Structure 1
Amino acid sequence: MQNRRTFIKKSGLLIAASTLPIPNFLFPKNREKLGVALVGLGNYSTGQLAPALQETEFCELKGIVTGSPEKIPLWQRKYEIKDQNVYNYDNMDRIANNDEIDVIYIVLPTGLHAQYAIKAANTGKQVWCEKPMAKTSEECRAIIEACNKNRVKLSIGYRMQHEKNTQTLIKWAETKPFGKMKNLKAEAGYYGDPMTPWKLEKEMGGGAMYDMGVYPLNAARYTTGLEPISVSARHIINRPEIFDEVDETTTFNLEFPNGLTADCKTSFGENLNNLEVNCEDGWYYLRPFQSYSGVKGKGSDGTVLPPFGKNQQAVQMDDDALAIIEDKPVLVPGEDGLKDIIIPEKIYESASKNGERLNL
């Protein structure tokens, strides 16, 4: 049976950066928090990560990297960022000499993740990278290799795995309180109008499968605790005048060992937010399952999973900061992000072959 641990062993990768000792990093004794630099000041950094960093216990916003000079004064005023902690994409390698910055968080379009995550690793700072990890599995491996080479930790920004109710489902994959799983359904999407421009560009890693598809894909993996053995997929495009390079909607079916299946859907043309699991002795669900707040669920036995009250991004970054401070494995290492790119590569191949089922 192929599970996550088996995948990591079979992947042929070097020891994960998340498990390497970090002799070149010592938590500054004169500071109580790790300094974080955000690379890219788009919507996610502006609306989610920067505010969340104000709620964290173990890290704080200390620097920014941007190619938009007009944004700098606002960020400096709002977050008291020093002049010497402001960088652009050409000189961010100088962060290597900045003792106030311990972590570099890559928050750029997917197509740029590899270039700048590798650049971040080469500074000797710890690396956090938003999901999806990169555009190709080759790029993912290059990021992992760079972090290994520089002996820094690499964590992928899967906030859901840090969320309380999601963690309950991850535990249920082992304890099976509703009996053996039979099948599950996972859907994530929104109606984009207008769309963020880069999400329509193939070169930038755009498309529903890359941007939103990692939610149902990753959910199918962590909810079952297994790795899929085959996949079939199809693309649906209802607005070809907009989606002329990338997929608008993708449906995909994953087959796991022992006949367990997952029906998944992701879209830029539909509002979708549902994860449900059918078992031999009952069922359970999270609905919504990947919203920034209000994730809640229910089980057939009357179990209620109430909304988690904490800021998801703050919990995620605190967990990752503690892994650095205590030199422990991160919750979501690069290998997890790599798997969620290997499978989409097969999903796109299957869709190009009219839904042919392909082995993984």
Structure 2
Amino acid sequence: MKINQSSSTKKHSRRDFIKQLSAGAASLALSSPLIGSSLLNKKTKSDKKMGIALVGLGYYSRDLLAPALQETKECYLAGIVTGTPSKEETWSEKYNIPQKNIYNYENFDEIADNDDIDIIYIVLPNSMHAEYTIRAAKAGKHVICEKPMALNARECEEMIKACENNKVGLSLGYRMQFERTTQEIIRLGRDEVYGKVKLINGAAGFRMNRGGAWRTIKAMGGGPMEDIGIYALQAARLVTGEEPLSVTAQAYNSRPEIFKEVPESVSFQLLFPGGTIASLAGSFGIFTTDLFVTAEDGWFNLQPFWTYTGIKGTTPDGPLSFPERNQQAVQMDEMAVSFRDGKPLRVTGIEGLKDVKIIKAVEESISGGGKQVRII
């Protein structure tokens, strides 16, 4: 998905570039509403470690979130929710989780009475996000929901309303927004350090070799756009700082025996108000992790750009170098502080709603043979 680098790269001195780097964090702050003290239904001390309960104990919880919660400073693994009894004992022993903090999907609502648990992290198939976010909100718990937010815009809006009505915060597991090199790439685009962004090429994918998983089932919210293409979508939106006007999209399937209900790969093209064009893809057919941004006076890229470790950025002035930290730990610590202290959330439910609207427009374009669809 790369394109040739422009030979007319604008000259920037190393000193100017370093100054720009140092200013990155301050200028990156994303506009998002305050949680505010009015949304904190319980008084919390500013030094309190927030208890998180993981709902769904599949790969992401087991191999990434739970280990990350051993590194966090502002929150900890307080509880679990699982429908598999054998996992209860395994997790309880491994993470010293008391029996009173272990729930299943039948008694989930009893979590409302557990003061050890402040935050519910929804790590379930996409089709279950709305139900458990709303139930968590009614239980008076702050919510982190994995991406994508829900099956459609209506569900997203119901989730947002439920959290507002119950005076709890809602955020999404967009971990890359908390990753330092990614934040710098976003700043380079928004601040037009190399001029106005003209073209974005991005592809995110991995090879899935068997069917049956929920990611291949349409009714459960499966599909390459929802699961992996969303990284490319997020990158384009964040680098431009704009919302796309329209999309055209195409679907491909070379292994129909595996992908019976969803495409193997999706490519989509976004047109932004400022004239930027993004050519993006999400795939279950190949491993790919490239993001290349062409601006009027230069370029910058991330490779890899969506993986859990090893994010690398490059510009005409050289590589971007920031200390690597556990992405999920950084994400959850910042969210915990926001929930606890009523500080602005970097990622709100509105962010998830925007992405879901675009995903549905991608589906509409594919259904219409690649027609251009206006994004409302």
Q: Which bracket does the TM-score occupy, shorter chain normalised? A: over 0.9
CA 1:214–1:54: 2 relative to 1, 3 Å? same
2:357 match: 342
Query: What SS is found at the alignment partner of 1:46?
Result: helix
Match of 2:334 among 289, 301, 319: 319
- Offset, 1:23: 4.2
Structure 1 alignment gaps of length 5 or more: 1-8, 10-14
Counterparts in 2 of 1:23 and 1:50: CA distance versus 1, 3 Å:
closer
Aligned match of 1:331: 346
Secondary structure at the counterpart of residue 352 of structure 2? helix
Equivalence for 1:353: 368
Aligned AA (1:309) = E
Measured against aligned partners, the alpha-carbon deviations of 1:35-67 in whole angstroms (never above 9, x if no partner) come to 000000001000000000000000000100000
Cα separation, 2, equivalents of 1:152 and 1:17:
11
Aligned to 1:300, which of 300, 316, 320? Answer: 316
Shift of 1:141: 0.6
Q: What aligned pairs does 1:169-188 form with structure 2 within 5 A after superposition?
A: 169-188=185-204
SS at match of 1:259: coil
2:43 to 13, 26, 31: 26
CA shift digits 1:268-304 (9 cap, x unpaired): 00111011100111100000001000001100232x1
User: What amino acid sits opposite 2:114 in the alignment?
Assistant: N
Deviation beyond 4 Å, 4+ runs, structure 1: none
For 1:71, the equivalent position in structure 2 comes to 87
CA contact (8 A) 1:20 1:151 kept: no
For residues 212-251 of structure 1, give each alpha carbon's deviation from its aligned partner in whole angstroms, at most 9, with x where no partner exists. Answer: 1110011110011111001000000010111110111000
Residue segments in structure 2 that go unaligned for 5+ positions in a row: 1-30
Q: Is the contact between residue 51 and residue 75 of structure 2 (CA under 8 Å) also seen in structure 1?
A: yes
Tell me, in whole angstroms, the C-alpha distance in 1 between the residues paired with 2:112 and 2:289.
Answer: 40
The answer for the alignment partner of 2:96 in structure 1 is: 80
1:26 aligned partner, one-letter code: K
Maintained 8 Å contact 1:17/1:144: no
Query: In structure 2, do the counterparts of structure 1 residues 19 and 185 end up closer, same or farther at CA, with 3 Å as the change threshold?
Result: farther
Q: Hey, what's the Cα distance between the residues in 1 that align with 2:219 and 2:184? A: 37
- TM-score w.r.t. structure 2 length? 0.89
Superposed, 1:134-145 pairs within 5 Å as 134-145=150-161
Which of 253, 257, 280 is matched with 1:264 structurally?
A: 280
| Counterpart contact for 2:248–2:270, Cα < 8 Å | yes
The aligned amino acid for 2:71 is E
RMSD: 1.7
1:99-128 Cα offsets, whole Å, 9 max, x none, are 110000000011110011111111001111
Superposed displacement of residue 259, structure 1: 1.8
Q: Which residue of 2 aligns with 1:89?
A: 105
Residue 132 of structure 1 corresponds to 148
Shift of 1:16: 5.8
2:209/2:258 contact within 8 Å kept: no
| Distance change in 2, residues 1:295/1:67 (3 Å) | same
- The letter of the residue matching 1:264 is L
Query: In the alignment, what sits opposite 2:24?
Result: none
Aligned 1:185-204 pairs, distance under 5 A: 185-195=201-211, 197-204=213-220
Corresponding residue for 2:177? 161
- 1:253 equivalent to 2:269? Answer yes
Match of 1:4? none
Shift of 1:174: 2.7
SS of equivalent to 2:39: coil
**Secondary structure at the residue paired with 2:286?**
strand
Inter-partner Cα distance in structure 1 for 2:176 and 2:211: 23
Counterpart Cα distance in 2 of 1:234 and 1:296: 29
With the length of structure 1 as denominator, give the TM-score of the two structures.
Answer: 0.93
Q: Secondary structure at the match of 1:191?
A: coil
SS of 1:133's equivalent in the other structure is coil
Preserved CA contact (<8 Å) 1:163 1:308:
no
Instruction: Tell me the number of residue pairs that the alignment of Structure 1 and Structure 2 aligns.
Output: 346
Q: Distance in 2 between matches of 1:126 and 1:248?
A: 35
Give distance in 1, aligned partners of 2:190 and 2:301. Answer: 16
C-alpha contact (below 8 Å) 1:200/1:243 kept by paired residues: yes
